């Protein structure tokens, strides 16, 4: 038989072991916590590193773009949206992609020249990437897989699909390619908390 002191020690030891086990089991969960959009570094259209953490505090609209698509004129409204809501609170980021009907065949230099001369684009354009299938860029894996973004699984269905990212780097949702930049869902998101900087 154990005396009272020994029983107390046994109970305490059990608690210590339990807490220690809990700590060991939960550590991997902490280490594999959900990534944020701001955790990525990409390359801009000129080949320079672009750290997405510099966008903290801004809403971000991520768009996969193409120069030879029926939806290419959306560039005009994307630029207008950026100029209207941008300032310090919102930014559009374009990721050129040749994944759909090879409608972005150009080099980064050619894409940059097209955006500048045709639509006078001033929002950040990134280097051309793959947004679906084998070789999908890590940013688009994050955007399209719930295990990565913590919100939803989605499929990039065509050029000009739009992903909405909040100020803290969390995914809010996405808007289909044929829905234009001034779609009600995007405008409501931008104006949600009066920080759109209009």
> Do residue 29 and residue 41 come from a single domain?
no
Domain that holds residue 157: 37-191
Residue 21 shares a structural domain with residue 99: no
Q: Per the domain annotation, does 89 fall within a domain?
A: yes
- Of the residues 69, 78, 126, 165, only one is catalytic, namely 69
CATH code for the domain in which residue 123 is found: 3.40.30.10
Residue 197 lies in a domain: no
How many structural domains are present in the chain?
Answer: 2
Count helices and strands (H / E) in the chain: 6, 6
Q: What's the pLDDT tens digit per position in 119-130?
A: 999 999 999 999
User: CA 59, 65, 70, 72: dihedral to nearest 10 degrees?
Assistant: 70
In the residue annotation, 115 being an active-site residue is answered as: no
- The string of pLDDT tens digits covering residues 21-72 is 555 544 444 444 578 999 999 999 999 999 999 999 999 999 999 999 999 9
Q: Tell me: do 79 and 13 sit in the same domain.
A: no
Q: Do 68 and 10 share a domain, yes or no?
A: no
**Percent residues over pLDDT 90 in the chain:** 78
Give the global pTM.
0.82
Residue 86 maps to a domain: yes
């Amino acid at each position: 038989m154990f005396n009272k002191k020994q029983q107390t020690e046994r109970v305490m030891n059990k608690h210590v072991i339990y807490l220690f086990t809990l700590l060991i089991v939960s550590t991997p969960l902490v280490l594999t916590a959900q990534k944020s959009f701001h955790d990525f570094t990409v390359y801009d259209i000129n080949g320079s590193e672009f750290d997405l953490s510099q966008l903290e505090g801004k809403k971000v609209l991520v768009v996969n773009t193409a120069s030879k698509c029926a939806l290419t004129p959306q560039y005009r409204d994307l630029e207008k949206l950026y100029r209207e809501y941008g300032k310090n609170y919102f930014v559009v980021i374009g990721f050129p992609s040749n994944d759909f009907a090879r409608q972005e065949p150009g080099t980064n230099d050619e894409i940059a020249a097209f955006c500048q001369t045709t639509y006078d684009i001033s929002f950040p354009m990134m280097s051309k990437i793959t947004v679906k299938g084998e070789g999908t860029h890590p940013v688009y894996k994050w955007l399209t897989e719930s295990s990565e973004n913590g919100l939803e699984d989605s499929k990039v269905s065509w050029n000009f699909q739009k992903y909405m990212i909040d100020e803290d780097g969390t995914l809010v949702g996405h808007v289909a390619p044929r829905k234009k930049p001034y779609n009600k869902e995007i405008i409501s998101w931008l104006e949600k908390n009066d920080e759109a900087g209009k």
